[in-house]
């Protein structure tokens, strides 16, 4: 586990997606996302090496419901009693109270089609979310910003103290579908429930008074410094108009 920008640390041994630890002080430790089930043992090892028992976690804050980010949520909840937080729209899907939208290859390449099929076949395990979040909520010192499109309940978490934005898969710092090549990117068509809505959510967020300087994405390395400026440049390049 490595410190990204205190008090936020990165579980850097996880490879499928990024998981961050937000340290709110003694007895107040949060995970932002919890990784894919294939990396469950690595997740537990990283926590153990950092001196954290899963039962000591205050909660898991999900950026969205996909299995590479929420895949260990049901396990942590049932095995260790860890409370799970997610936006209401994704909470409904996770609890099987709303249909689970299927992903399709669409405009993506063959690899994206394979990953979409895997997600459809092996989604995050069903669970009843302990706390359903809404736009404007405050939790763990974070502001909740609803940015639907990648999934119906995708959110940004903005940490004002560190001027960090934890963006899940709505803003990335590596290019899908394999996310091996670093660089700013928006949601990939094959993995998004509604790509135009995702773009609109990003645009609308950047028109709000919600400054940030550091971007901690669901895939890719942390982008520290001038992150909002760089995102706005990407949006302009991709013809997503933002009123500044």
Q: Would you tell me which CATH number, out of the four given (1.10.3720.10, 3.60.15.10, 3.40.640.10, 3.90.79.10), belongs to the domain 2-237?
A: 3.60.15.10
Asked if residues 198 and 187 have their Cβ atoms less than 8 Å apart, the reply is yes
**Claim: this prediction has a pTM higher than 0.85:** yes
Distance, in Å, from the CA atom of 169 to the CA atom of 176, rounded to the nearest integer, reads: 10
Asked if residues 164 and 224 have their Cβ atoms less than 8 Å apart, the reply is no
> C-alpha angle 138/144/147, rounded to 5°?
165
SS3 content of the chain, % helix, strand, coil (to 5): 30, 25, 45
* 175 φ, ψ (degrees, to nearest 5): -90, 125
Using the CB atoms, write b or e for 178-208: b if 16+ within 10 Å. Answer: ebeeeebbbbbbbbbbbbebbbebbeebbee
- Sequence ranges of the domains in the chain: 2-237
Q: Tell me which residue has tokens 């996310």.
A: 179
pLDDT in tens, the chain (244 residues): 899 999 999 999 999 999 999 999 889 999 999 999 999 999 999 999 999 999 999 999 999 999 999 999 999 999 999 999 999 999 999 999 999 999 999 988 999 999 999 999 999 999 999 999 999 999 999 999 999 999 999 999 999 999 999 999 999 999 999 998 999 999 999 999 999 999 999 999 999 989 999 999 999 999 999 999 999 999 999 877 777 6
Query: What's the token pair of residue 116?
Result: 């979409």
Asked if residues 90 and 62 have their Cβ atoms less than 8 Å apart, the reply is yes
């Amino acid at each position: 586990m490595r410190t990204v920008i205190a008090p936020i640390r990165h579980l850097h041994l996880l490879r499928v997606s990024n998981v961050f630890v937000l340290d709110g002080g003694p007895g107040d430790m949060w995970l932002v996302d919890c990784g894919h089930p294939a990396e469950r043992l690595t997740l537990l090892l990283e926590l153990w090496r950092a001196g954290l028992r899963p039962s000591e976690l205050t909660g898991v804050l999900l950026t969205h419901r996909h299995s590479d980010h929420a895949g260990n949520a049901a396990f942590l909840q049932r095995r260790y009693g860890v409370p799970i937080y997610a936006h209401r729209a994704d909470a409904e899907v996770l609890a099987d109270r709303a249909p689970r939208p299927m992903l399709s290859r669409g405009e993506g390449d063959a690899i994206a089609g394979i990953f979409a099929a895997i997600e459809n076949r092996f989604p995050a395990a069903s669970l009843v979310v302990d706390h359903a979040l809404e736009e404007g909520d405050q939790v763990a010192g974070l502001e909740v910003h609803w940015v639907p499109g990648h999934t119906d309940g995708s959110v940004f978490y903005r940490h004002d103290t560190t001027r960090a934005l934890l963006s899940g898969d709505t803003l990335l710092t590596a290019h899908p579908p394999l996310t091996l090549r670093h660089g700013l990117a928006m949601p990939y068509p094959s993995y998004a429930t509604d790509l135009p809505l995702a773009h609109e959510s990003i645009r609308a967020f950047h028109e709000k008074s919600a400054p940030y300087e550091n971007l901690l994405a669901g895939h890719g390395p942390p982008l520290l410094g001038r992150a909002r400026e760089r995102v706005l440049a990407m949006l302009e390049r991709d013809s997503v108009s933002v009123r500044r």
